[in-house]
Amino acid sequence: MRTEVVEILQDLIRIDTVNPPGNEGRGARYLGELFEKEGIEYQLVGEEGRENLVASLGEGKKRLLLLSHTDVVPASEEKWDLPPFSGEMDDGFIWGRGALDCKDLVAAEAYTLIRLKREKAPLNGTLIFAACADEEKGGTVGAKLLTETYTDMIRADFAINEGGGEYIDVGGEKLYLLQTGEKGPAWSRLRASGVAGHGSLPTLADNAVVKVAKAVKALSEYNPEIVIIPEIKELIETYLSLRGDPRNVTPQNVDEIIDSIPDQVFGETLRSVTRMTVSPNMIQGGTKVNIVPDECEAEVDVRTLPGQDESYLRRELEPLIKECSLEIVHSHPANFSSADSVYYRLIEETAKDVLGPVHCAPHMLAGATDSFYLRQVGIASYGVSLLSTHFPSELIKTVHGANERIDIESMEVKTEFLYRLARKYLS
């Protein structure tokens, strides 16, 4: 297993599927060639050159979906120690864009089908594999297309996707995060209009950039309402109990708790999933240094919690932006699959079988994945791309950054988990 699943990952990293433009069909056709050699049935569906691949094994009432995506974000080669599309092996790590997000999961899921096919494993149900396009740009020609147009092909009782599977070290114990939900993106645009004029006589004009700058400053100082949803309460209280600090988590004490967490990434993730976040990330205005601009706009990344709809967002933010208008460009609500289900319990049990004596807790992702589309059509979806207990947790920060890489042991753990889960559920 070690050599083959690693080779699949290396091959996938070497296939350029940077989105935009995507070209995910290259990755889909590579997977199709692998499956064809093994006699695994598959289909390519979707936009030409950006196809999704859907394959299946077995037949029967039970249905398990293994979901992943083949597109990746760009990489600035000069910032990497090894070429980002080389798939190079170095000191037990496979390097390259997509090694953690999420060509590792594509490779592990694909190899799971190959292994089961070779073993002629009797499946009392159907194992479905879907490698999607376009996750990094919203999923329009990927998971959205599959759930809206090819629903019967990917219909399942539950799905495994990216978005979880890392661990937190707590006093020598490992706490694994199993993603059951994610916040809702509400990408917004601020606009301001003014009166153009000569830069040497600014008081005769009305500067639109200044208006947007004031709004951006106000948004950066916004103090959101703290909300502790049940899943995050359970996660934080599990973490506290492992460090010998059992207490009830409330909106009043959660920031004090977060400030005491040594793992900054985990702490700030908890801060993000206990409130709506507002991040002004782009400003565009003006045409020339000596012209007072009469138009300016800013792009703002807003992420909402359950129950925080567009009307909530406007009530909170419009009083802050004064002379600017607010347009919500793209949004969908926070979404969840139950942690109180036979599927979650099976996932937790299988994770512990593979990892050994670890602890697990439901987790809410601050970002978004294709699981949203699955949940929209009634497919319970869980983010479980397991990493080994020896994986250096600080490398999580390389996702979408420089020097992204994954260790061989994590590829083995990931693949073994998927294989055992499929055997258990479809036995």
Q: What angle do CA 275, 278, 284 make, to 5 degrees?
A: 175
- pLDDT at residue 153 in the model: 97
Of 41, 150, 68, 28, nearest to 369 (Cα)? 68
The fold of the 2-178+334-425 domain, in CATH, is Aminopeptidase (3.40.630)
Residue ranges per structural domain of the chain: 2-178+334-425, 184-225+276-331
Residue bearing tokens 């506290």: 240
Q: Which helix (H) or strand (E) segment is 423 a member of?
A: helix 408-425
Q: Which of 13, 27, 34, 1 is nearest to 110 (CA)?
A: 34
Element (H, E) at 351: helix 342-355
Tokens of 320: 């802050």
**Please, what's the largest Cα pairwise distance for the chain?**
80
From the list 1, 40, 18, 183, the residue with the least C-alpha distance to 85 is: 18
Element (H, E) at 55: strand 52-69
Distance CA 261, CA 274 (A): 15
Residue 136: DSSP 8-state = G
Q: 58-104, pLDDT tens digit by residue? A: 999 999 999 999 999 999 999 999 999 999 999 999 999 999 999 99
CA-based nearest residue to 413, from 119, 105, 118, 205: 105
Helix (H, G, I), strand (E, B) or coil at 211: helix
**184-225+276-331 CATH choice from 3.30.70.360, 3.30.110.30, 3.40.190.10, 3.40.50.880:** 3.30.70.360
| Per-residue pLDDT at 207 | 98
**Residue 150 vs residues 49, 52, 67, 145, 377: alpha-carbon distances, Å:** 18, 11, 14, 7, 11
What local confidence, expressed as pLDDT, does residue 121 receive?
87
Q: What are the average pLDDT values for consecutive 10-residue runs of the chain, which has 427 residues?
A: 89 98 98 98 98 96 98 96 97 97 98 97 95 96 98 98 96 96 97 98 98 98 97 97 95 98 94 98 97 98 96 98 96 94 98 97 95 97 98 94 98 98 96
The helix or strand, by DSSP H or E, that contains position 96, with its residue range, turns out to be none
Q: Mind listing the pLDDT tens digit for each residue in 298-351?
A: 999 999 999 999 999 999 999 999 999 999 999 999 999 999 999 999 999 999
- What's the pLDDT score for residue 2? 62
Tallying the residues shown for the chain, one arrives at: 427
Here the tokens at position 208 are 């639109």
pTM value > 0.85? yes
β-bridge partners, 127: 57, 64
Contact (Cβ atoms closer than 8 angstroms) between residue 150 and residue 156: no
Pairing of strands 277-285, 335-336: unpaired
Query: Would you tell me how many other CB atoms lie within 10 Å of the CB of residue 247?
Result: 11
By three-state DSSP, how is residue 199 classified? Answer: coil
